[in-house]
A and B are shown apart, each in its own frame.
Chain A
C-alpha cells in the first residue's frame, strides 16, 4: 500500500503533472506563442512539422541537441556547464508548486509562494552567471543587463504576488487557489496587481518590450551568445518552461487556476483555458511594442510600476480589513 503510494507520488512528479507533462506543455505553448505572434504579424508561422506546425518546437529542440556543442577556451567551465541545467530545472521545480490537474499542487507547503519568488530570483542570478562565465563581451553586457532588469522587476513582482496572499490569508499557492475555488477569482480585487504582474513577467521572460538582455540587433544573443548545441537546446526549453511557469502562476494566483464551474474533472480544462489566455496576453504584448533601452526600462519600473504595486498592497489590506 505504502509502496504503491510512493510509486504514485513519484509518477506524479516525473510523468503527470510533473516533469514530462510540463515539457510537453512547454512545447505546446511555444507553438501557440509562435503561431499567434505570426498571425498578429500577418504571417503563417510554423506550418510543416505536424498539423499546422505543432511539432516545430520539438523538432527545433531535437535539432539543437544534435548540433555541435562548442565551448570556447576562455569560459569558466564549471559555471558555463552548470547554468543551462540550473536555468532549466529551477522553473521546472517552480511548476511543481502550482496546482494544475487538481486543486492542490504536487508539492505544497505553507510559504511556497515565497519559495517560488525565491526561485524566480535564482533564475535571474543564474542568467547573470551564465553571461558572466561566457567571458564574451556581448554575453557580459547581456548578463549585466539581466541583473539590472532583475533589480527593477523583482520588488514590484513580489509585492503584487503577496497581495493575493493577504486577501486569501495564506502564503501557499494551493491555499490561495482553494480560497478562490470557494469564493471568486481574486482578479476582481486585484486588477492593478494582475497588470503589474504581467508587465513584471514580461521582464522576467525577457520579452519585447523588455528583451533587453538578449536584444539580438544590439548584442547578438546577449548572455546566450556563447551557448550552442545541447546547452542552447536546454536554454531554449527553459524559456518555454518559464513561460508556462509565469502563465500558470498568474492564472493560479489571480484567476483561480483549476477552479471553475462544473465537476472537478474539468479542473485541467479550466486551468488550460486560463493559462492560454495569459499566454496570449504575453504574446500580444510582444507584438505591440518596440524594445526599450535599459535605462528607460529601469525608469519605468521604479517610477511607475513600483508605486502601482505598493498601491495594490495597500488596497488589498483595506479590502481584507473591511470587505472580507
Chain B
C-alpha cells in the first residue's frame, strides 16, 4: 500500500483475467484507476535466437509455434519473407489457399475473442456459445489441413496441401452456419443491455492517441482509422479479392466488438470468393536450400493486427538474423492509455479488448536508458551477471 488513499493492485503475472503471464501494476483510488505500469517480458522464449540456429525449412515448424492462435499468420509471413529474400514467388493457387486458411483462422480467432470478452464481463453463457460455434471453423481447418491448431499448411515456395472440390463444398456448408451465428452474435452484442452497459464508453482510445501510440489491427480500426495491411500493402491473394475494411468510430470496447464481428462476416465473404475463384495450377515451386545475402521485411494482417517479420540472409541455409514484431506489442501502450481513468471493474474487459497475445510478444534486449546503448547477452553471461548482482546485493 502506498501514499494517501490510493494503493497498488497487481494484475499479473498470474491473474485469472490474463491467460498468459504479463504484469500490470495498477494504482487505484477506490474503484478508479489512476495509473498503469506495464511490465512485459515474462515469457521470453528465445525464439529469434533459436531461428538463427535452424535451417529455413526447420524454422517453419518453429515459427508456426510462436503463437497458438494466429499460427498461420506467422508462418504465412515467414514463408513470404523467405520467398522474397530468395527471389521466388509462390504460384497463384498457393496464394489463394494461404489466404483461405488465413481468413478461416481470423474467424476462429475472432470467435474465440468474443467468448473471452464475454467471460471477462461475467457473461459465461455467451462464452460457451461462442466457443461451441468456433468448433465449426476448427473442424473446417482440420478438414483442410489435418490439424486444429498448428496447421502446417505452408512451405517455402507454396503450400503443402491442396483444397479439393469436395472439401471446398464442406467448407461452404460450414461457412453458411458460421455466417448465421456471427450475425446472431452481432445482434446480441449490439442489443443486450448488460453487455452494452459494460462496453459502451469503456476504454476510450481517441483516433489521435491511437495513431501516436501506434495501435494496430481491430483496436486501431475501432477508433475509426481504416488501416489494414490486406488493403494498404496487399499480399497473398488479397489484391484480387474484393472486401471491406471494417471500421467503427465508437473508440470504445463496444466498437471493438462490432469491428471484430464485422471482420468475421467479411472473412466469410473472402473465403467464399476465394473458393469460387481458386486458380488452377501448381501449389508450390521448388525453393533453393540456401538463400543469398539479402534483407527483406514482410507484413501480414494477423487477426490481432499488423505483424512484421524481418530477415537477413547470408548465403547459408540458416538466417543470420530474424526479427518478429507481433501485433500485441503495438497495442500495449494504447491499452495503458485506455485503462487510466476507468474503473477497476473495467480492467479485464479493456485488457481483453486488444485481444492480447503476450507470449508471442516478449523479446529480450538490454537497453541502457541513459547511454542509449543496446546489447544482448548469452545465457552464460546472464547467469554470471545474475550471480554477481546477487553477491553485490548481499
Interface of A toward B, CB cutoff 8 Å = 40-43, 137-138, 141, 208-209, 211-212, 215-220, 287-296
- Residues of B near A216 (CB, < 8 A) are 16
* Residue B194, interface by CB 8 Å: yes
* Residue B170, interface by CB 8 Å: no
Alpha-carbon gap, A211 to B119, bound state (A):
13
User: 21 interchain pairs (CB within 8 A)?
Assistant: A41-B124, A43-B128, A137-B7, A141-B9, A216-B16, A217-B120, A219-B344, A220-B15, A220-B16, A287-B124, A290-B121, A290-B192, A290-B194, A291-B121, A291-B122, A291-B198, A292-B197, A293-B198, A293-B343, A293-B346, A295-B343
With A41-B124, A290-B118 as contacts: A215 and B345 at CB distance below 8 Å: yes
Alpha-carbon gap, A141 to B7, bound state (A):
11
With A220-B16, A289-B194 as contacts: A141 and B344 at CB distance below 8 Å: yes
Interchain CB contact under 8 A, B128 and A41: yes
Interchain CB contact under 8 A, A289 and B345: no
User: Closest chain A residue to B348 by CB distance?
Assistant: A217
Alpha-carbon gap, A141 to B32, bound state (A):
12
Alpha-carbon gap, A295 to B348, bound state (A):
17
- Residues of A near B385 (CB, < 8 A) are none
- Residues of A near B345 (CB, < 8 A) are 212, 215, 218, 291, 293-294
With A217-B122, A295-B31 as contacts: A290 and B198 at CB distance below 8 Å: yes
Interchain CB contact under 8 A, B16 and A291: no
* Interface residues in B91-130 (C-beta closer than 8 Å to A): 118-126, 128-129
Alpha-carbon gap, A133 to B123, bound state (A):
30
Distance in angstroms from B146 CB to nearest chain A CB is 27
With A42-B132, A218-B347, A290-B118 as contacts: A138 and B194 at CB distance below 8 Å: no
Interchain CB contact under 8 A, A296 and B122: no
* Interface residues in B1-50 (C-beta closer than 8 Å to A): 1, 7-10, 15-17, 31
User: Closest chain B residue to A216 by CB distance?
Assistant: B16
User: Closest chain B residue to A138 by CB distance?
Assistant: B9
* Interface residues in B117-161 (C-beta closer than 8 Å to A): 118-126, 128-129, 132
- Residues of A near B348 (CB, < 8 A) are 217-218
- Residues of B near A41 (CB, < 8 A) are 124-125, 128-129
- Residues of A near B129 (CB, < 8 A) are 41-42
User: Closest chain A residue to B116 by CB distance?
Assistant: A217
- Residues of B near A215 (CB, < 8 A) are 122, 345
Alpha-carbon gap, A296 to B7, bound state (A):
23
* Interface residues in B335-365 (C-beta closer than 8 Å to A): 343-348
* Residue B195, interface by CB 8 Å: yes
Interchain CB contact under 8 A, A217 and B16: yes
Alpha-carbon gap, A138 to B347, bound state (A):
13
- Residues of B near A220 (CB, < 8 A) are 15-16
Interchain CB contact under 8 A, B123 and A289: yes
Known: A217-B348, A295-B343. 8 other contacts (CB 8 A): A138-B9, A215-B122, A216-B16, A217-B119, A291-B345, A293-B197, A295-B31, A296-B197
- Residues of A near B123 (CB, < 8 A) are 208, 289-291
- Residues of B near A295 (CB, < 8 A) are 31, 343
- Residues of B near A289 (CB, < 8 A) are 122-123, 194
The secondary-structure label for the interface of chain B is helix
Alpha-carbon gap, A40 to B129, bound state (A):
10
- Residues of B near A217 (CB, < 8 A) are 16-17, 119-122, 348
Most buried by A among B126, B129, B345: B345
User: Closest chain A residue to B117 by CB distance?
Assistant: A290
Contact of B194 among A43, A287, A292, A294 (CB under 8 A): A292
Alpha-carbon gap, A217 to B344, bound state (A):
11
Distance in angstroms from B354 CB to nearest chain A CB is 15
Alpha-carbon gap, A5 to B197, bound state (A):
58
* Interface residues in B180-237 (C-beta closer than 8 Å to A): 192, 194-195, 197-198
User: Closest chain B residue to A221 by CB distance?
Assistant: B16
Alpha-carbon gap, A292 to B198, bound state (A):
7
With A217-B17, A217-B348, A220-B15 as contacts: A209 and B194 at CB distance below 8 Å: yes
User: Closest chain A residue to B17 by CB distance?
Assistant: A217
Interchain CB contact under 8 A, B195 and A290: yes
- Residues of B near A287 (CB, < 8 A) are 124-125
Alpha-carbon gap, A287 to B128, bound state (A):
11
- Residues of A near B124 (CB, < 8 A) are 41, 208, 287
Question: Closest 3 interchain pairs by CB?
Answer: A291-B122, A290-B123, A41-B128
Distance in angstroms from A41 CB to nearest chain B CB is 4
Alpha-carbon gap, A55 to B345, bound state (A):
35
Distance in angstroms from A128 CB to nearest chain B CB is 15
User: Closest chain B residue to A145 by CB distance?
Assistant: B31
* Interface residues in B310-356 (C-beta closer than 8 Å to A): 343-348
User: Closest chain B residue to A219 by CB distance?
Assistant: B344
Most buried by B among A41, A42, A43, A217: A217
Alpha-carbon gap, A182 to B137, bound state (A):
60
User: Closest chain B residue to A148 by CB distance?
Assistant: B31
Most buried by A among B125, B132, B195: B125
Alpha-carbon gap, A211 to B122, bound state (A):
8
Distance in angstroms from B177 CB to nearest chain A CB is 15
* Interface residues in B300-318 (C-beta closer than 8 Å to A): none
- Residues of A near B192 (CB, < 8 A) are 290
Alpha-carbon gap, A140 to B68, bound state (A):
36
User: Closest chain B residue to A289 by CB distance?
Assistant: B194
With A216-B16, A289-B123 as contacts: A137 and B31 at CB distance below 8 Å: no
Distance in angstroms from A65 CB to nearest chain B CB is 24
Distance in angstroms from B256 CB to nearest chain A CB is 15
Distance in angstroms from B121 CB to nearest chain A CB is 4
